[in-house]
Amino acid sequence: MKKYIIPLLILASCNAPKVTGNAVNQSDYKKAVEKKLGTPVTYEANESNTRVLCIYESEKKPEQPRNTVSFLVYDMEKSEIVYESSVDGGSVSWYDEDRIEIFSTPGYVRSDQTNDDFAKIHDLTNGKTVPKKEYLKGSE
């Protein structure tokens, strides 16, 4: 009887569904993000799926006609929030694998200005935020 039970247990354990750390983290991190930011939250992963940009846009109100965009970046490997901020009347998106672009809607735009004058690049590897024009000059 023992010789049948052991192979059966081994076979059963090989076929059992495996729960990876990411599967557990996805559920947990989304709950934590929604508790922190509110709902609904938009989730955008970087190309390698190692970080997730989580974005919440508040509703426009008569006393606050521009929406506030609250956002954070969650690192899936570290299982923690690595950056958090907000922008009034703007937007945020991935610039590349390790950087996000934060755009602030201007009140007045001079003829010599472009959207890059109102954008910043935040580098998640070193924690620095620089104006986009400055970042572009440094990467040339």
Query: CA–CA separation, 77 vs 83, rounded Å?
Result: 14
Residue 5 lies in a domain: no
Stated pTM of the model? 0.75
Evaluate whether residue 111 is within a structural domain.
yes
Residue 6 placed within a domain: no
Assess if residue 2 is contained within a domain.
Answer: no
Q: Which residues pair with 64 in a beta bridge?
A: 61
Q: Is residue 9 part of a domain?
A: no
Q: Does some domain include residue 15? A: no
Tens of pLDDT along 27-51?
Answer: 788 888 888 898 999 999 999 999 9
Per-residue pLDDT of the chain (140 residues), as tens digits, is 545 444 433 333 333 333 333 443 467 888 888 888 989 999 999 999 999 999 999 877 777 667 899 999 999 999 999 999 999 889 999 999 999 999 998 888 899 988 899 999 999 999 999 999 999 987 66
128 lies in some domain:
yes
The order of strands in the sheet holding 129-131 is 90-96, 99-104, 119-123, 129-131
User: How many structural domains are present in the chain?
Assistant: 1
- The beta-strand segments (E) located in 59-133 are 68-75, 80-88, 90-96, 99-104, 119-123, 129-131
Range of the domain at 36: 20-138
Q: Is residue 11 part of a domain?
A: no
